[in-house]
Structure 1
Amino acid sequence: MKYYEKTIHSEEIFEGKIINVRLDDVLLVNGKTSKREIVHHNGGVAILPMLTENKIFLVRQFRKPIESELIELPAGKLENNEDPVKCALRELEEEIGYKAGKIEKISSIYTSPGFADEIIHIFVASELSKTTINRDEDEFMDILELDIKEAVKMIHDGRIVDAKTIVGILSYISK
């Protein structure tokens, strides 16, 4: 790699429930050193649930870091070394109360590679059958059933601004 930064010292400065943060001293390609604050996250999944060929489910939930509600794909974090497909199937059932007869990977994206290693694996789920919602006790959200064309319109007019949701919907319709 032409611009590789060699880590010469690393210090864990925070260990939390969802993220860990470390401070790395790195050697740059020009021989100078710099510091990098790095957020480690186990990664996650997002699921585009297709009720029919044109109908999808999204969720609306409050997101504390931005002090606002977002309209998003159902999503969740990977547990340690969890298989992304298994996580996607679990999250789909937990958040919107559906099982998928078919699940297919659309993409994987890094959310903010300038400071975090979080990767989100995006899936499309189809052949859905109703089960029971089983959310975590700290999860509160509305389930929205939308025409996929309306969701695309919501992306273009700024009602959907969540990156994983935009990537998931636009990747799906461009296939």
Structure 2
Amino acid sequence: MKKFEEKTIQSTPIYSGKIISLKVDDVLLPNGKEGKREIINHPGAVAVIAITNEGKLVLVEQYRKALERSIIEIPAGKLERGEEPELAAKRELEEETGYGCHEISYLQSFATSPGFADEVIHLYVAKNLYEIEEKAELDEDEFVSLMEVSIEEAEEMVEDQKIYDAKTAFAVLWMKLNSGRA
């Protein structure tokens, strides 16, 4: 048995959309009582810490409706059904930035909001970037602007809350900690 495991008694689907689904699970708690859990199922995502040959971090700015504002992020996107995370990372890098990479390595995976969602982001580091001649198209509902910033500029963006999401804040911290080795 897993520590503090909550056993599902019943699961009730509430919504199934293009990207996410929502269900309510009735669970048996470790103390023997019953509880309810609202859970979002998500196919997972990838994110890329893309580092230019000059050691700058490649970022994109885009509007996030859930926050009602634009934020600056590392390139990222959801996994397509059956898609390998590394291939998805390369695809998202190309679509959002117009860059390809000669070197990509897996860094780690992490849960984004484990209190209510099962989404996991697979994080990669891309180096030896090159511009793609025939750039991939963004999704039809996706609008981004590209920027390349130093680690110091990225840290200021975190302080100013222009960088406001966890995956990008993690990327900035990783860049700072690995600046001598990146």
TM-score, shorter chain, exceeding 0.5:
yes
Q: Which residue of 1 aligns with 2:111?
A: 110
RMSD: 1.2
Give the SS at the match of 1:66.
coil
Q: Aligned equivalents of 1:69 and 1:135: distance in 2?
A: 17
**1:149–1:133: structure 2 CA closer, same or farther, 3 Å change rule?**
farther
1:127-142 counterparts in 2 under 5 A? 127-131=128-132, 132-142=135-145
Q: Which has the higher strand share?
A: 1
Q: How many residues align?
A: 175
Please give the per-residue CA displacement for 1:45-78, whole angstroms capped at 9, x wherever unaligned.
1111111242121000000011000100011000
1:34 lines up with 2:35 in the alignment: yes
Q: Which residue of 2 aligns with 1:21?
A: 22
Structure 2, unaligned runs of 5 or more = none
Q: More deviation in 60-69 or 97-106?
A: 97-106
Question: Among residues 135, 160, 164, which one is paired with 2:163 in the alignment?
Answer: 160
Q: More deviation in 82-91 or 47-56?
A: 47-56
1:5 lines up with 2:6 in the alignment: yes
Q: Which residue of 1 aligns with 2:96?
A: 95
**Structure 1 stretches (4+) deviating beyond 3 angstroms?**
none
Structure 1, unaligned runs of 5 or more = none
**Alignment check: 8 A CA contact 1:59 1:144 kept:** yes
Q: Which residue of 2 aligns with 1:145?
A: 148
Q: Aligned equivalents of 2:163 and 2:58: distance in 1?
A: 13
C-alpha deviation, 1:133, in angstroms: 4.1
Q: Aligned equivalents of 1:66 and 1:85: distance in 2?
A: 28
